[in-house]
Amino acid sequence: MESNNGQNGDAPVIAIDGVTKTYQMGEVAVHALRGVSLDIHSGEYVAIIGASGSGKSTLMNIIGLLDRPTSGTYAIRGQEVGQLGKSEQADIRNREIGFVFQRFNLLPRTSAQAQVELPLFYAGITGTKARRRAVDALTRVGLGERIDHRPDQLSGGQQQRVAIARALVTQPSLLLADEPTGALDSKTTAEILDLFDELHAQGLTLVVVTHEHSVAERAGRVITVSDGAIVGDALAAQPTPAVTATNGFGSVLPTLSPARTAVAQ
């Protein structure tokens, strides 16, 4: 399989090379990933799609530093992270990656603003600065007028927007979304995907893991995973362009061309 090489010399946000993941189930070795290589550059909007058991969730867990590879290398913005200790990985994960999950994971009796401030508390940011950044993040996702609302006062789509704001408030290099529309109806799904389009147009790097082709087709690049390997890597016919823009917090994010992917057989 040929690779797509990025034309910019900067280090990619994600650089995975020859990664394998093997789980031992009693006497049986389960090969969840088989020599996967993948680069994702700043400003890309990538969908990773595959059926249940394809390896896409394992790949997502490794990208998100929720699991570590059996072999191969993984770097974030040029720093090798795949074999770091748990505390070092946690620090990088909290600094570089924002997570959005299928379930919103919101605290039931807590305001939207307080939900979004929580990651900043763990990062040592409190007080006026934390409040300002939380309000900015909620405004960015269209909830500036609902900062005091609890989850039971919000629709499913609004709750997912709170979860997205919570993921963005730490100003991560990458937004990683795992089946982000799986618990939403079709209308609300369209609204969340429109928001992803807007965030991408502002320069944010997104990776969406999904089994739905209609969700994957909104990305600029679609990576197909099957039997633990990347079997397809294609640009969308009419991808939403990444642009040179601020990330919503005043930092300029450059436009970079698509990255290479390869599969080591």
Kindly state the average pLDDT of the residues 199-210.
Answer: 93
- pLDDT single digits (tens) 214-262: 999 999 999 999 999 999 999 976 544 444 333 443 333 333 333 333 3
Kindly state the average pLDDT of the residues 103-132.
Answer: 92
Contacts of 55 (CB under 8 A, 6+ apart): 21, 32, 33, 34, 36, 225, 226, 227, 228, 229
pLDDT at residue 2 is higher than 80 = no
For 89, half-sphere exposure in the C-beta direction (CA atoms, 13 angstrom radius) is: 17
Q: How confident is the model at residue 4 (pLDDT cuts 50, 70, 90)?
A: very low
- Write down the pTM of the prediction: 0.81
List domains and CATH numbers for the chain.
Answer: 14-263 (3.40.50.300)
Sheet order of strands, 206-210 included: 97-100, 174-178, 206-210, 45-49, 221-226, 229-235
159 vs 10: which has the higher pLDDT: 159
Kindly state the average pLDDT of the residues 104-124.
Answer: 92
